[in-house]
Amino acid sequence: MNLRVDIVIFSLRDSAVQVLLTRRASQPFKGRMSLPGGRVSEGESLERTALRELEELVGAGKTYLEQLYSFGEPRRDPRGRVVSVAYYALIPGDRRVLAGRDGSAVWCSVDKLPPLAFDHAKILAYARDRLRNKLEYTTVGFQLLPRRFTLSELQRLYETILGKKLDKRNFRKKMGLLGILRPLRDWRHTGRKPARLYAFIPKRFEKLKDKGILFPF
């Protein structure tokens, strides 16, 4: 039985949710794009496999990683039986990526995906659903932003992933109420009126989580 780990690596780039894909160098599906992944080694846990693959591609740094689902249809790989444990990862949009050893990794907007190898389109769709859902009751979203960000950037992130417009005042009211943002003393100067920078306070959020208070959106 062949066991692999495939990873859906999300990031926010150019105001779009993008996924890191690799081009297949060999048959089957030679030349097609596919999710990065690799074999689970002996003595290596699933999560460790995922972390290893992840590091090869995007290096170390703030990363969110979560197991997604296991895919085991008998015919999903034409070469033979392969079961994939899929993970998904979130990395900040300002992170430089190594783009893989051979530089074959490419960011693709999830709205303009090329045809994918195997059942990877299915895996990716599943990951997007999960991300959307999770965004509504957790703070995973912050994993996609740089350490410091403006409220408008945060709102755009939510709007992009949820696929709908949010009201600015309501959005800010809720964020304020949650008390998980720390206003910084710096401002972002980008074209027009400068915007205040904020940082996420993970500690505060942990307390909310313990009390069972979730994320309302």
Partner DNA sequence: CGACAATGTGTTTCCGAGACACAATTAGAT
Partner DNA sequence: ATCTAATTGTGTCTCGGAAACACATTGTCG
Residues in contact with a second copy by CB under 8 A are 1-3, 40, 42-47, 67, 69-74, 81, 83, 85
Q: Distance between CA 121 and CA 113 in Å, rounded?
A: 9
Gap between the Cα atoms of 136 and 102, Å rounded: 37
How far apart are alpha carbons 113 and 128 in whole angstroms?
A: 13
In the complex, the smallest distance separating the C-beta of residue 86 from a second copy, rounded to whole angstroms, is 9
Among 121, 195, 201, 208, binds DNA (CB under 7 A): 195
- Asked whether the beta carbons of 165 and 156 are under 8 A apart, the reply is no
Q: Which is nearer to DNA, 126 or 158 (CB)?
A: 158
The least distance separating DNA from the CB of residue 153, rounded to whole angstroms, comes to: 7
- Rounded to a whole number of angstroms, the minimum distance from the CB of residue 202 to DNA is 21
For residues 30 and 132, which CB has a smaller minimum distance to a second copy in the complex? 132
Q: Is 193 a binder of DNA (CB under 7 A)?
A: yes
Residue 168 interacting partner from a second copy, DNA, none (CB closer than 5 to 8 Å by kind):
DNA
**Closer CB to DNA, 83 or 175, in the complex:** 175
Residue 126 burial (CB count, 10 A): 17
Is there binding between residue 194 and DNA (CB under 7 A)?
yes
Rg of the chain over Cα atoms, rounded to whole angstroms, equals 19
CA distances, 107 to each of 36, 71, 205 (Å):
12, 23, 30
Q: Which does 91 bind (CB under 5 to 8 A by kind): a second copy, DNA, none?
A: none
Name every residue whose Cβ is closer than 8 Å to that of residue 150 and which is 6 or more positions away in sequence: 188, 195, 196, 197, 198
What's the one-letter identity of residue 205? F
Binding mask 135-174 for DNA (x = CB under 7 A): ---------------xxx--------------xxxx-xxx
CB of 47 to DNA, least distance (A): 33
Distance CA 45, CA 79 (A): 25
Binding site for DNA (CB under 7 A): 150-152, 167-170, 172-174, 177, 189, 191-196, 216-217
